Amino acid sequence: MAAAAAVKNDLETARLALHTIFGFDGFRGSQEAAVGAALAGRDSLVLMPTGGGKSLCYALPAAVLPGLVLVISPLIGARPGAPPAVPPP
């Protein structure tokens, strides 16, 4: 029960940082679930389209948690010959 309360408190801190640091009024799509998992110390796999807000899913926890954050990203868009963007659905 205490762990759930800590994550809820961390999500409140994250929402405040989302607005004050990044200028957004709220999360988009599954960002909140991904950020919540990171704040709870759980591993997660986040799949979002280009422009879906993936960077926020690791940048926001890094901004509110103490210590170092390691992000492993394949940067598929940076490969030669990769499509410039995913077309909208």
- Residue range(s) defining the domain that contains residue 47: 2-78
pTM for the whole thing?
A: 0.70
Q: Is the pLDDT of residue 89 over 90?
A: no
What mean pLDDT comes out for the span 44-63?
Answer: 88
The CATH number of the domain where 23 resides is what? Answer: 3.40.50.300
Rounded to an integer, what distance in angstroms lies between the CA atom of residue 20 and that of residue 53?
17
Half-sphere exposure in the Cβ direction for 15 (13 Å, CA)? 11
Fill in the amino acid letter for 34: A
* Under 8 Å between Cβ of 50 and 85: yes
pLDDT tens track for 55-81: 899 899 989 988 887 777 666 655 666
Neighbours of 56 (CB within 10 A): 20
Answer yes or no: is 89 within a domain. Answer: no
